[in-house]
Amino acid sequence: MKLAVIGAGIAGLTAGVYALQSGFDVTIYESHSAPGGASTSWRRRGYLFEGGLHWLNGSSPASSLHKIWRDIGALDEQTPVYNRDPFFVVDLQGRRACLYRDLEKLKDHLLTVSPEDRREILRLTGDIKKFAAVDMPIGDLRGLKTRERARVPLSFFIKMIPAFTRFPFWSGRTVGEYAKRFKSPLLRELVSGLVRIDTSALSLIFTLSTLAFGDGGYPQGGSLGMALRIAATVKKLGGTIRFNSPVDRVLIRGGAAAAVRTGGLEIPAAAVIVTQDTLTAVDSLFDTPLREAWIEKMRGNTRPMVSTFISLGIEADLSALPESLVFSTGKPLLCGGREIRVLNVNNYAAYAAHRPRGDSDYAPAGCSAVTSLIPGDSYDFWKQCRENGDYGDEKRRLAENFIEILGEIWPQIRGKIAVWDVATPLTYERYLHSYRGSYMSIMEKGIPPVYPVKSGSVKNLYFAGQRLIPPGGLPVAAETGRRAVQQLCLDTGAVFQG
């Protein structure tokens, strides 16, 4: 049975591997020349800029998600994983606070930084310990034929009961609202510097507990390395990835997905899995845009997570500095019409100092690659710049502003910038075909919705990708890719094999 998968991001690659293992004839269509989608990195003048993966849920063998990464070839016993510690550092006017993975070390450090926040610190570290028992259940669809059933025992849920009692607290407020519970500005910035302040505090406690659990490491090769390993698994299993082959139409005949059109050619398919951003795909890939209840709910409830990404190649060795630093600026960064006074910088020279043998070089010898993700929905601002003809000039102005500010805290980089790169929301839109140039969704207060992987109006049409479970990310991409193939197997009577 011929299966067409649209998109070679993590969701598409995952779906491709599981479908091939389950006996389908798989072709993946990718509009660009490399796999990975939003999970990617790129080179500029000898510098490698990591544009997707910062830590990986499921990097630890103790995590249930680890099995998926092993199934699809993203990780294996020979793949080194680096767990940086401290995970990141906050520096405000010369005072520092560190996010340590070790829970006792973290507690003692926070109490030293801010004794007046003792009650809140003890409550936070207590909740981190409770949520460290929370794991993503990886099960099978009811009625599915499988070679080896993925069973989720009752004990799996029993151990999570202490965390469930705290769900209302964490799901009922944003990260920014939670941060205000601390008296210390330094601790307020520490808890809000890890994830966006306008997202549900559930995302914060889940991330903190992931790190305390010993998970959330950085695999060898980062984003692109992971994507290339999964793509190699697709090819090893006999699948085909057609790069530089954007699909412009999914053709519906007799109420069922029957073919895809790429490069002017119609290619028959017995089933189609769409892993392109769902919010754009349902409008752009069909002669008549899909209108289903769950799609309209997604359209109305999704707030896109939009950012501007700045990268620098620096002719200076920064390996002695923190790997991830949050700091306040004297002069504001002007980005997208907004003043930014707190910045987060990732320093890959510090990571490279601990890099496993054989990992990719991030910069020439004695040099450093630095990146910064500037949050904020600046899509309309950048779109207006492009229409006005000053898009390139505004990117240069932003880069120069950022370089000037970074030079204030790291004077050794002044005059040492070899290359800069700015990816705006329009870059994400062009590269990913994503809604408003977003790469994830903002997790709202409450329990996040789970959208279906199967169309209710078109037969043999399935969906996967980060948009189906907010906030998205690599775990959601992989889980929905797996679930879409399970649904396909259930519908066709095939035996699912992982």
Same domain, 230 and 208: no
Q: Which amino acid is at 475?
A: P
At residue 360, the pLDDT reads 52
Whether residues 115 and 189 share a domain: the answer is yes
Lowest mean pLDDT among 164-168, 172-176, 359-363, 468-472: 359-363
Are residues 117 and 236 part of one domain? no
Q: Are residues 479 and 418 in the same domain?
A: no
The C-alpha atoms of residue 435 and residue 433 are separated, in whole angstroms, by 7
Q: 394 vs 310, 383, 391, 425, 454, CA distance in Å?
A: 13, 11, 5, 13, 42
Last residue of one domain, picked from the residues 161, 195, 213 = 213
Query: What is d(CA 439, CA 370) in angstroms, rounded to the nearest whole number?
Result: 20
Let me know whether 271 and 205 are in one domain.
no
Residue 262 counted as domain residue: yes
In a domain, residue 243? The reply is yes
Residue 469's CATH number: 3.50.50.60
- Looking at residue 39, its pLDDT comes to 93
- Domain limit, last residue, from 169, 192, 213: 213
pTM greater than the 0.85 cutoff: yes
Kindly state whether residue 91 falls inside one of the protein's structural domains.
no
Mark whether 426 and 331 lie in a shared domain: yes
Answer yes or no: do 316 and 425 share one domain: yes
Which helix or strand (DSSP H or E) is residue 408 part of?
A: helix 391-409
Does 430 share its domain with 311? yes
Q: Are residues 428 and 343 in the same domain?
A: yes
Structure tokens at 309: 């990404």
**Domain co-membership, 341 together with 428:** yes
Residue 359 has pLDDT above 50, yes or no: no
E strand or H helix at 393 = helix 391-409
* Mean pLDDT for all residues in the chain: 94
Residue 283 included in any domain = yes
Domain housing 159: 97-137+151-213
- pLDDT value, residue 354: 64
Claim to verify: residue 410 and residue 347 sit in the same structural domain: yes
pLDDT top residue among 360 and 210? 210
CB 110 within 8 A of CB 121: yes
Looking at the domain assignment, is residue 46 inside a domain? no
Provide the domain count of the chain.
3
Same-domain pairing of 105 and 183: yes
**C-alpha to C-alpha distance for 331 and 66, rounded to whole angstroms:** 43
